[in-house]
Amino acid sequence: MAAAAPEDRGTVRSRVPTSLDPGTDEDERDEECLTSNQYPKETVRKRQNSTRSSRSSESSRSSRKSFRLDLRLEEDVTKSVKDKNGRFELDRELPIIEPYFVQHSESAGKLETGIRITWLGHASVMVEMDDLTFLTDPVFSQRASPISIAGPKRFRGPPCTIEQLPKIDAVVISHNHYDHLDYNTVLGLNQRFGTELRWFVPLGLLNWMQSCGCENVIELDWWEQNCVPGHDEVTFVFTPCQHWCKRTPFDDNKVLWGSWSVLGPSNRFFFAGDTGYCAAFEQIGKRFGPFDVAAIPIGAYEPRCQHVDPEEAVRIHADVRAKKSVGIHWGTFALANEHYLEPPAKLREALERYGLTQEDFIVLNHGASKLFNTVINGDLKDECICSLLG
């Protein structure tokens, strides 16, 4: 593996997601195991549980001051645009469904088989699998912004409140952009669940989480893994993707970005986070696939930079070897130039071009759930608990 030029030391390039620490033996071992189709636990640097709740990454990159992309961004993520022509379509085309766990709270968290996905809007998903319930990039605020009076605003509100959630065992954070990491949501979840809730976060985010009062925080580098105490059989692996990080004018890429591979004894789930298309997904598929379900972004791709469009989302679905996928990162915040109903329409077109069906890669209404791989009357089936977008 080629060593970085002197001026590049202390950086990481997400176009080459296997370049963790150029020139080290540990990185060479990481690169060697990328081609493995098996999942031997020794191929991933495991973060053992400790009596300490919060742990910083043991990666040699943990002392670095910033991370770097191959493609530098000319401007911020997608800009907000006003769309007055289609507002009347919202309630008809993007209804908000009251989640099953609000309608029937007694049935929440009692999944015996399979994996259940509930879309809470944008990149927020509640996942139930292998006796665990966890959230991805939860945001319950009305704006994806550091202030409440300005910034990208929701045009579809959250389908439930933090107080209405069932017991949550863990939260995974993909990166620190405001539409994926929300201060008030972190405070609310921490207030409700306290130290029983384990936070899995990217390298560089531990101090920020602790400043919010969160104590049970695990910070990981790419390819590192950990688990929820008492659930050692389910492994959370922080995996690469192509993106960037920023929350202030002064912290460009001070925090790593990534995706998450959650590996259980009966089910495997992949969360792509927010990403552009890159070779990392094929590597993840070879190393940890097939996945029973993947949550992949399909929207907020105009203007394009570090984001995938629906066709690239289908390619990620194939690369990670997902049996089924759910479209996320669309239809919630005013973040992009495309019409809010365009992503699912383009997804249907892409699926047809690739010879796949809408059952292979579904789109849910806000608050709706889908149960995959459950046993019904002795047969392995998928079951929609609420409703899919037509």
Strand partners, 147: none
Residue 6 lies in a domain: no
Give the residue numbers spanning the domain of 153.
88-384
The tens digit of pLDDT for each residue in 126-141 reads 999 999 999 999 999 9
The number of distinct structural domains making up the chain is 1
Is 317 annotated to bind a ligand? Reply is no
Residue 131 lies in a domain: yes
The tens digit of pLDDT for each residue in 194-234 reads 999 999 999 999 999 999 999 999 999 999 999 999 999 99
Residue 54 lies in a domain: no
Of 243, 262, 223, the C-alpha closest to 32 is: 223
Is 231 annotated to bind a ligand? Reply is no
Is 243 annotated to bind a ligand? Reply is yes
Residue 160 lies in a domain: yes
Is 366 annotated to bind a ligand? Reply is no
The tens digit of pLDDT for each residue in 48-98 reads 444 456 777 777 666 666 655 543 333 333 333 444 554 456 788 889 999
Q: What is the pTM of this model?
A: 0.79
DSSP 13-38: -TTSTT-SSTT-HHHHHHHHHTT-SS
pLDDT in tens, the chain (390 residues): 433 333 332 333 333 333 333 333 444 434 433 333 333 343 344 544 444 567 777 776 666 666 555 433 333 333 334 445 544 567 888 899 999 999 988 777 767 789 999 999 999 999 999 999 999 999 999 998 888 787 888 989 999 999 999 999 999 999 998 899 999 999 999 999 999 999 999 999 999 999 999 999 999 999 999 999 999 999 999 999 988 788 878 877 789 999 999 999 999 999 999 999 999 999 999 999 999 999 999 998 876 667 899 999 999 999 999 999 999 999 999 888 888 889 999 999 999 999 999 999 999 999 999 999 765 555 556 666 555 554
Residue 58 lies in a domain: no
Q: Looking at residue 350, which CATH number applies to its domain?
A: 3.60.15.10
Is 175 annotated to bind a ligand? Reply is yes
Q: Which residues of 199-222 are buried (b: 16+ CB within 10 A; e: fewer)?
A: bbbbbbbbebbeeeebebbbbbbb
Residue 177 lies in a domain: yes
Is 179 annotated to bind a ligand? Reply is yes
DSSP 313-339: HHHHHHHTTEEEEEEES-SSBS-SSS-
Residue 48 lies in a domain: no
**Longest pairwise C-alpha distance within the chain:** 63
Is 122 annotated to bind a ligand? Reply is no
Residue 350 lies in a domain: yes
Is 180 annotated to bind a ligand? Reply is yes
